[in-house]
Amino acid sequence: MFLYFFIGVLCVSSLSADSLSSEEADAYFPAVEWSDTFDWKLLKAYSTPNNRNVLISPIGLKLVLALLYEGSGGLTEKEFQNVLQFPIDKKNIRDNFERVLSALQPSERSQYILNLGTRIFLDSRVEPKQNFAAKALHSYRTDIEHTNYSQPLEASRTINSWIEKLTNGKVSHMISPGDLQDAIMILANAIYFKGTWRHQFPKENTTPGGFYVSPTEIVEASYMKTTDTFYYFESNELDAKLLRLPYKGQNYAFFIVLPNSKAGLPDLIKKINLHVLKKQLYLMDKVPVRVCLPKFKFNFQARFMKTLQDFGLKQMFQNTASFPGIARGLPHMLRMLVVSDIVQKTGIELDEEGSVVYAATEVQVGNKFGEVDYVFNATHPFMFFLEEQTTGTILFVGKVENPLDSNAMPLPSRFGTNQAVQPYPLSTAPNLQPENPERDAIMRRFNYFDLELIKEFSEFPGNVFISPASIKTTLALILEGAKGKSAAEIGNALRINNIDQREIREILERLLFDLSDNTTSTVLESANSIFISDKYEVLSEYEKKVKRYYKADLTKVDFTNTNLAAKTINSWASRATHGLINNILGSSLYPETAMVLANALYFKGKWRTEFDPNSTKDQCFNSPTRQCVNVSMMQLSHSFNYNFNIDLNAHAIELPYEDDKYAMLILLPTNGNNVRTLGKDMQHAQLHMVIDALKPTELILEIPKFEIDYQIDLVEFLKPLKIQEVFSSQANLSGITGTNNLKINNVIHKTKIEVNELGTKAAAVTTAVVVPLIGSTAQKITADQPFLFFIYHKESRNIIFQGLYSEPPQVSPPVNNVQRVAQNYEGPRTYPNYGSQRANVRYQ
């Protein structure tokens, strides 16, 4: 038996001219208790690439969650307090909602219409507790209506009729009879707002124009235009413009936050939060602004169950839910009271109908200011929210990526009963738990190893390409069976104090989770295998761990037949890397080999914005050893996440792959800095800070097509990182076979990468050969000189691959310096002054 909850529709449009009346001058100052963090967490949760346009009503959702909190107990009650910061004393939350609902008093004034209602439809066999019913009515203005759920058709008609009436017919079918199977209670909330702009957009000013759905894709939209005084601010912190559009009636306003870059909306939503946005609102000034805003209309619908579970509200969706304070009646029914799902449907219509009235009374408003200092052209994706001014309540918040996309997103499938009562297993959703500062700090330290590796390779001549993810996975496989000082050295290098610590297991599991992805545009596959000599037996505890945590296969091999053993391992590597790496072992195998631990990694990703092959031209690349080498240089004019990093004295550019989960980061040193120095400096940099400093910037980017085929024995590179004993006669790997007579002889790391106009293919195989003890790896940014690059998972910042590119193959004889100057001269250029160094940047 389930408790369902639905929220109705919230709509915005305009009123007719006859209903307008004179008003006082517009004045705005942010409310002291403005919004809360939950509003902005909701927007971030639904602002995914799949949701082009989003509209959410935070107040509608919080209102019914507060009602559920009133009737909750036990762990369910604790989760409401922890996640939503609801006060322990429930009187405080009642007082807060009384104040909010008083400010949102339903009204049908001449300036605007606001309908707001909440109702509980309770099973006829159950009686509400008198105390709960009184609080619901007094503090939350919520009626309780008995409903016969044994007649689902009639019950659904009753609920839909109430919602349809409150939303002025905008939502006529919220639930179906099938939704009411085993229902005990429905909580329904509906909000409807209809307002007229205080400063109208004259219809005669509306003209078609291009809206940048993406920096390279334009659709034609209808743009409303006006010039008037508005509260406005240009925020450097958000890299965006803020505009407030007030409605008639003093109480409500529509805010737009427009990123400066055409591709800046994802970055804006990532940065925005309650404290940052509130600070910007206090800085808004009333100034003349020319506004250009697209008309738009769309619906949005969402299920909140999974999102709220991710936030930490889990108990109310499980069979351990506790709502003892809501109702009394049949005990067997109330014991099963559990929230089955939370659904919200919303809609918005934004046009200039109301402004016809305003234009009729103040015809000259579009021209009366003459020249203005501020222009607000919403010609690319933006976010918005509608605020009630007195209390700062956010009625709804959303984003617009395509004003022509008016269709509702498909409602996600309803979670079944079994799914509703099961928590997320960590193996399918690692680290989707509430923030854990200790775990997050360990994760950042875990990634220090990646940058220390690149430092060790920075003095190595030629191109370098390694996979920290593959190397760390292989070292973790060794660590699972190492003991004593051997384990301590590997653990110290990886910043793992105790591999069985819960936070460490979560980080390793997240790493392996990130290494398994197979979408339509991106393939990332990881495989682990242990090839054990038929003369040895692996301890059952070690076998359980590597199978459980690493999904590793164990295969018996006769290493006395070294050719057949190598063929077996090489065939596995070839299959795991889709044929990119076919030969990983050869002379490294001996008849005495006890074991080979292997990890294989394969990545194939398409660029989110591909390079045009027709723009690829032969161009000079400044090699350290051969000077000018002619290479195939790809070119793309686009908005990239970019920053000049002063600490590293290098340009940082991010090239996202199509699914936006992974990206390549290129670090291009300036003329005064070489790539070897940059490689050393990276160990002192925090990669997440380099990435977080990137901002959308219009660039002409030139990078070479390249391939790297790389193989190295990592032993001599791991020893400077203090991993030493495991390679010596003192090695202790007794946790693998129970014997203390094994050591690591080689750690062979082989990689391959292909970068072209379409995207990237990359693969890595790392093998640790275990042997018995005997006796004892718009600016024009031109990457025409050596650079570092990283391929990483954007959310967790796990580095999948990293490399140093300095020696391209020579495609044709190098151009001499005189010819080169003549061919590339484009007139005098200016360069930005970054300290005492001059950036190697070409401008057009």
pLDDT band for position 518 (50/70/90)?
low
Residues in the chain: 844
Asked if the model's pLDDT at residue 633 lies above 70, the reply is yes
- In this prediction, residue 231 carries a pLDDT of 92
pLDDT band for position 398 (50/70/90)?
low
Residue 450 C-beta-side C-alpha neighbours within 13 Å: 28
Asked if the model's pLDDT at residue 792 lies above 70, the reply is yes
Residue in the structure block whose two tokens are 């293919």:
761
Distance CA 345, CA 54 (A): 11
Q: Measuring CA to CA, how many Å separate 193 from each of 115, 139, 219, 387, 433? A: 6, 22, 29, 11, 36
Q: Tell me if 97 sits within 8 A of 140, measured CB to CB.
A: yes
- Better pLDDT: 235 or 359: 235
Decide if 2-15+57-196+298-349 and 613-707+779-843 have a common fold.
no
Asked if the model's pLDDT at residue 337 lies above 70, the reply is no
In the chain, % of residues over pLDDT 90: 2
Q: Which two tokens stand for residue 609?
A: 């914005």
Lowest average pLDDT, out of 6-15, 41-50, 328-337, 755-764, goes to 6-15
pLDDT band for position 21 (50/70/90)?
very low
Rounded mean pLDDT, 63-79: 87
Rounded mean pLDDT, 600-608: 85
Asked if the model's pLDDT at residue 814 lies above 50, the reply is no
Which CATH class name applies to 2-15+57-196+298-349?
A: alpha beta
- The CATH code belonging to domain 203-294+361-400 is 2.30.39.10
Rg over alpha carbons for the chain, rounded to the nearest Å, is 31
Q: Tell me if 793 sits within 8 A of 514, measured CB to CB.
A: yes
- In this prediction, residue 122 carries a pLDDT of 84
Q: Which of 593, 586, 531 is nearest to 557 (CA)?
A: 531
- In this prediction, residue 107 carries a pLDDT of 59
Q: Which two tokens stand for residue 371?
A: 């020249």
Q: Tell me if 31 sits within 8 A of 41, measured CB to CB.
A: no
- In this prediction, residue 232 carries a pLDDT of 92
Asked if the model's pLDDT at residue 8 lies above 60, the reply is no
Distance CA 571, CA 588 (A): 16
- Better pLDDT: 768 or 379: 768
Asked if the model's pLDDT at residue 129 lies above 70, the reply is yes
- Better pLDDT: 646 or 809: 646
pLDDT band for position 637 (50/70/90)?
confident
Asked if the model's pLDDT at residue 35 lies above 70, the reply is no
Distance CA 380, CA 384 (A): 13
Rounded mean pLDDT, 321-326: 81
pLDDT band for position 390 (50/70/90)?
low
pLDDT band for position 480 (50/70/90)?
confident
- In this prediction, residue 381 carries a pLDDT of 64
Asked if the model's pLDDT at residue 399 lies above 70, the reply is no
Residue 6 C-beta-side C-alpha neighbours within 13 Å: 24
Asked if the model's pLDDT at residue 831 lies above 80, the reply is no
Lowest average pLDDT, out of 249-253, 281-285, 314-318, 330-334, goes to 330-334
- Taking only the tens place, the pLDDT of each residue in 699-728 is 888 888 888 888 888 888 888 888 888 888
Q: Which two tokens stand for residue 622?
A: 């400044």
Name the CATH topology of 613-707+779-843: Alpha-1-antitrypsin; domain 1 (2.30.39)
- In this prediction, residue 823 carries a pLDDT of 33
- In this prediction, residue 116 carries a pLDDT of 81
- In this prediction, residue 357 carries a pLDDT of 23
Lowest average pLDDT, out of 196-200, 715-719, 804-808, goes to 804-808
Distance CA 461, CA 464 (A): 8
pLDDT band for position 113 (50/70/90)?
confident
Asked if the model's pLDDT at residue 525 lies above 70, the reply is yes
- Taking only the tens place, the pLDDT of each residue in 572-587 is 888 888 888 888 876 6
For the chain, the structural domain boundaries read 2-15+57-196+298-349, 203-294+361-400, 450-606+711-772, 613-707+779-843
- Taking only the tens place, the pLDDT of each residue in 262-271 is 888 888 888 8
Distance CA 41, CA 29 (A): 24
Distance CA 162, CA 178 (A): 18
pLDDT band for position 424 (50/70/90)?
very low
Distance CA 503, CA 431 (A): 9
Distance CA 615, CA 259 (A): 29
Strands 374-377 and 285-294: parallel
Rounded mean pLDDT, 451-458: 76
Q: Tell me if 455 sits within 8 A of 721, measured CB to CB.
A: no
pLDDT band for position 106 (50/70/90)?
low
Asked if the model's pLDDT at residue 346 lies above 60, the reply is yes
Q: What is the mean pLDDT of the chain?
A: 75
Backbone CA torsion sign across 411, 416, 421, 427:
negative
pLDDT band for position 820 (50/70/90)?
very low
- Taking only the tens place, the pLDDT of each residue in 461-476 is 678 888 888 888 888 8
Distance CA 357, CA 345 (A): 30
Asked if the model's pLDDT at residue 688 lies above 50, the reply is yes
- Better pLDDT: 509 or 352: 509
Residues β-bridged to residue 357: none
Q: Measuring CA to CA, how many Å separate 612 from each of 33, 69, 641, 702? A: 51, 56, 20, 12
Distance CA 277, CA 157 (A): 42
Asked if the model's pLDDT at residue 153 lies above 80, the reply is yes
Confidence (pTM): 0.47
3.30.497.10, 3.30.43.10, 3.30.70.20, 3.10.129.10: which CATH number matches 450-606+711-772? 3.30.497.10
